[in-house]
Amino acid sequence: MTPAELEAARDRLVPDVVADGLRVLFCGINPGLMTAATGHHFARPGNRFWPVLHASGFTPRRLQPSEQQELLGYGLGITNVVARASARADELSDEEYREGGRILAEKVARLRPRWLAVAGVTAYRVAFGDKQAKIGPQERAIGTTRIWALPNPSGLNAHWTLATMAEEFGRLRTAAYADGGG
């Protein structure tokens, strides 16, 4: 993909991969330009979402971004805090995060997933006004939906390795499967 093609994807919207009553609705910060250009969530080659999803046991094999619709068969989905695409998350304003959090809360109330998993604790803090939030399960819930803050799977997040991210995603998976059903 050329730089011009990526730049042309700026501000595009990427459709959610959602259904009612999911086990886990994963939530990215916002679509990157590669995601917007392809229409596939977490599409940038350096993003570790898909490898971590498999390594943590959520999927039986590593899915490609183009296979994102298969997540629904596993009771999983994907959305974003902020809908518009940008090259970097730091291009987003706090106001966009807060408005995104409001819209996300409405979406979660409508879809009723068991868990909302926000992949990016800083985005979660701003979107939901919880400056003290840490990685892991949160006290806040949206209706009956529990919330888990996950590390951002971006390749730029060097504080978390593939292994430590898979461990944290695995903690969520254990909780998601412990609260009923297979």
58 burial via Cβ count (<10 Å: 0-12, 13-18, 19+) = buried
Q: Is the pLDDT confidence value at 125 over 80?
A: yes
Instruction: Decide if 165 contacts 49 (C-beta within 8 A).
Output: no
Residue 125: name the closest of 156, 154, 147 by CA.
147
- Tens digit of each residue's pLDDT (9 = 90 or more) over 127-179: 999 999 999 999 999 999 999 999 999 867 778 999 999 999 999 999 999 86
What is the per-residue pLDDT for 169? 97
Q: What residues contact residue 178 under an 8 Å CB cut-off, 6+ apart?
A: none
Question: Catalytic site residues?
Answer: 30, 41
Q: What residues contact residue 45 under an 8 Å CB cut-off, 6+ apart?
A: 34
Cα–Cα distance measured from residue 157 to residue 148, given in angstroms and rounded to the nearest whole number: 18
Q: Which residue has the higher pLDDT, 76 or 181?
A: 76
What is the mean predicted confidence (pLDDT) over 41-64? 96
Q: Is the pLDDT confidence value at 88 over 70?
A: yes
Q: Is the pLDDT confidence value at 73 over 90?
A: yes
What is the per-residue pLDDT for 90? 87
Can you tell me which residue has the tokens 């987003």?
92
What is the per-residue pLDDT for 179? 63
Cα–Cα distance measured from residue 120 to residue 60, given in angstroms and rounded to the nearest whole number: 24
